[in-house]
Structure 1
Amino acid sequence: MDLHLNNKVVLVTGGSKGIGLAIAKAFIEEGAKVAIVARGEEDLAKAAATFDGLITIQADLKDELERKQTVQEVINRFGTIDILVNNVGGSNGSTTEETELSLFHEAFDLNYFSAVHFSKLVLPYMKEKKAGSIINISSIFGRESGGKVTYNSAKAAMISFTKSLADEVIKEGIRVNGVAPGSVLHPSGNWQRRLEENPEKIKEFIESEIPGGRFGTVEEIANVVVFLASEQANWVVGATLNVDGGQSKSNF
């Protein structure tokens, strides 16, 4: 299937490892021009050495000024942004009672406000062309309890924002959608660490919680993202798709 992504300009936040890097790789394989932004210089250097033509940008994505500078750097290089993937994220804290309010602010800055701000920054370029795609990476735990409360809350906000912005900008030819991954295994992720610490416990978790019988892969998430960003998904607007092997308990 030709996804018509050749020479499209793509910005992936949190793109130096894990799901983000897999998304960048998938777009590169479709012939897109890809820039990734992340905080870790070492991971960015590894990504640049792995993929020819990949543009890497180092920035703290909790910082408003650095988000603006990131978008401007991509515009200076390519003149536009066709596709934005808001992937950066992370969790902190523990229970609501034991988590300082400042950690809720930090989680929202990284997981939610970065996505809102990057979306606002790219919209003028997409509106100019009457075309564009924004993909927000949330989580199945944005729809139900499961992860840490700070993370859940921010991802829930992102799912709501996805639908709200989608309805606002589709008349401009811009599609906004989301992907909600379930538990995904990759070398830099929490599940890999937990698997190494207690393989029997993780085996029990998979058997009881994931009907598909295994963890997801970063490639399986990336494939859905690339499809949603393509012309083949033109009538998908405001959706956040679970990609989880049946793990989610929700039925929407």
Structure 2
Amino acid sequence: MDLGLTGARALVTGGNRGIGLAVGRALAAEGARVALLARDGDRLAAAAATVDGAVTVQADTTDDASVRAAVDSAAATLGGLDVVVNAAAPRAEAPPAPGLAGLDDADFLSQVDTKALGYARVVRAAAPHLLDGGGRVVNISGMNARSTGNITGSVRNIAVVALSKNLADELGHQGVTVTCVHPGLTVTERNADDPAYLEKAAQNGLARLITAEDVAAVVAFLCSPLAAPANGAVVTLDGGRPGTVWA
């Protein structure tokens, strides 16, 4: 299937590793021109070398001025923007103790600032470019949005869902669609050699591991012109977590 992404101009945040990097590769494979954004310049350069034709822009998504400069630079280099994929977020580490006892105020604020508000900063900076001809925004959230046990992880991810729907309502009638995806336990370079993680990650409805490339394939579709009806949708990509019904 031709996704219609040949020549599309895409910005991927968190593009130096994990799902973000896999998305960059998937979009490039579909013929898109890709700009990868991350904080770590060295890691970013190494990642870009694995993505056909990719360019890089460096920014800290907790710094609005940095974000605006990076987004404008990406748009100038690519000649505009058609796609934004937000994947720049720190790992949601399990708290040292459950519930309120494990809630770290500084970590909570940092996680929300980086993931939820950081995503908003990127879209705000990119919107004038996207509105020039319509576009796609895909926000990477996570299954902590649908589970308890990690307050910070749940709040930062459900905030991304709320942000995505607000943006879908606001930008959709202007031709920009916004979707949100919930990866579950996903195999990336961070955990590919962790037997305990891999065993747990395979415990889904498919009884197999879900890789960053699996997630990226769905994200690439959501970035395509074919996915316009999905505006405002939240897509679960966890292989089918057993025991829960989502209406």
> TM-score by structure 2 length?
0.91
Which residue matches 1:115? Answer: 119
Q: Are 2:165 and 1:163 aligned? A: yes
Q: How many residues align?
A: 242
Task: Decide whether aligned partners of structure 1 residues 202 and 77 sit closer, same or farther in structure 2, where only a CA change above 3 A counts.
Answer: closer
> Any unmatched runs of 5+ in structure 2?
none
Q: Are 2:246 and 1:251 aligned? A: yes
> Any unmatched runs of 5+ in structure 1?
none
Which residue matches 1:133? Answer: 136
Q: Are 2:101 and 1:106 aligned? A: no
Which residue matches 2:6? Answer: 6
Match of 2:101 among 91, 97, 106: 97
Task: Decide whether aligned partners of structure 1 residues 83 and 157 sit closer, same or farther in structure 2, where only a CA change above 3 A counts.
Answer: same
Q: CA deviation at 1:51?
A: 2.8
Which residue matches 1:45? Answer: 45
Q: CA deviation at 1:80?
A: 1.4
Q: 1:4, 1:116 → 2: CA distance? A: 26
Q: CA deviation at 1:48?
A: 2.5
Q: 2:141, 2:132 → 1: CA distance? A: 27
2:137 aligns to what SS in structure 1?
strand
Percent identical residues: 31
Q: CA deviation at 1:214?
A: 2.5
Q: Does the 8 Å CA contact 1:93/1:150 hold for their aligned counterparts?
A: no
Q: Which runs of 4+ in 1 moved over 6 A?
A: none
Q: Does the 8 Å CA contact 1:144/1:250 hold for their aligned counterparts?
A: no
Q: Does the 8 Å CA contact 1:93/1:103 hold for their aligned counterparts?
A: no
Paired residues for 1:67-86 under 5 Å: 67-86=67-86
Q: 2:115, 2:201 → 1: CA distance? A: 26
Q: 2:220, 2:16 → 1: CA distance? A: 17
Q: 1:244, 1:236 → 2: CA distance? A: 18
Which residue matches 1:152? Answer: 154
Q: 2:201, 2:10 → 1: CA distance? A: 34
Task: Decide whether aligned partners of structure 1 residues 206 and 75 sit closer, same or farther in structure 2, where only a CA change above 3 A counts.
Answer: closer
Q: CA deviation at 1:47?
A: 1.5
For residues 56-85 of structure 1, give each alpha carbon's deviation from its aligned partner in whole angstroms, at most 9, with x where no partner exists: 122222222211111111122123111000
The two structures, once aligned, show a CA RMSD in angstroms of 1.9
Which residue matches 2:16? Answer: 16
For residues 102-159 of structure 1, give each alpha carbon's deviation from its aligned partner in whole angstroms, at most 9, with x where no partner exists: 2111001111101111111111222222x1110000012112225x321221110111
Which residue matches 2:183? Answer: 181
Which residue matches 1:142? Answer: 145
Q: 2:223, 2:48 → 1: CA distance? A: 23
